[in-house]
Chains A and B, each alone.
Chain A
Amino acid sequence: MKAIEVNREKCIGCRACSTICSPLLITLTDDGHRRVIAFPPSCEEDCDRCLRACPTRAIAFGEKPGVSAILEFELAFCDRCGKPFATKEELAYVLSRISSIVGEEPEWKNLCPECRGKESALGLLKLL
Chain B
Amino acid sequence: MGYEILVRPERCISCYACEVACAREHGGISNVRVYPPGIPIFCRQCQGATCAEVCYPGALERRDGEVLLHAEKCTGCELCLLACPFGAIKLEGKRAYKCDLCSHRREEGLLPACVLTCPAGAMNFSCVADFSSRKRKIAGLSWAMGHERRGK
Q: Is A74 an interface residue (CB 8 A)?
A: no
Interface positions of A from 66 to 106, Cβ below 8 Å from B:
86, 90-91, 93-94, 97-98, 101-102, 106
Query: How many Å from the CB of A11 to the closest CB on chain B?
Result: 12
Chain B residues lying within 8 Å of A121, measured Cβ to Cβ, are 35-36, 39, 41
Question: Could you say which residues of chain B place their CB within 8 Å of the CB of A90?
Answer: 78-79, 82
Whether the pair B53, A120 counts as a contact (CB closer than 8 A) is no
Query: How far, in angstroms, from A125 to B7 measured CA to CA in the complex?
Result: 12
**Alpha-carbon distance between A108 and B82 when the two chains are bound, in angstroms:** 10
Q: A116 and B87: CB pair below 8 A?
A: yes
Q: Are the C-beta atoms of A117 and B78 separated by less than 8 Å?
A: no
- A36 interface residue (CB < 8 Å to B): no
Q: Which residues of B contact A112 (CB under 8 A)?
A: 87
The answer, yes or no, to whether B77 is at the interface (CB within 8 Å) is yes
Which residue, of B77, B86, B91, has the highest number of chain A Cβ atoms within 10 A?
B77
- State whether the Cβ of B81 lies closer than 8 Å to any Cβ in chain A: yes
Q: Looking at chain A's contact residues, is the secondary structure mostly helix, strand, loop, or mixed?
A: helix
Q: Would A113 and B54 count as touching, CB distance under 8 A?
A: no
B9 touching A94, Cβ below 8 Å: no
Knowing A118-B35, A125-B39 touch, does A113 contact B90 (C-beta < 8 A)?
A: yes
Q: How many residues of chain B get a CB closer than 8 Å to chain A's CBs?
A: 33
Task: Give the residue of B7, B37, B83, B89 whose beta carbon is less than 8 angstroms from that of A98.
Answer: B83
Of B57, B76, B85, which one neighbours A120 at CB under 8 angstroms? B85
> Which residues of A sit under 8 angstroms from B82, Cβ to Cβ?
86, 90-91, 94, 113
Determine the chain A residues whose CB is within 8 A of the CB of B88 once the complex forms. Answer: 117
> Is A19 touching B84 in the complex (CB atoms < 8 A)?
no
B85 contacts across to A, CB distance below 8 A? 102, 106, 108, 116, 120
B48 contacts chain A at the CB level, 8 A cutoff: yes
B151 within 8 A of A: yes
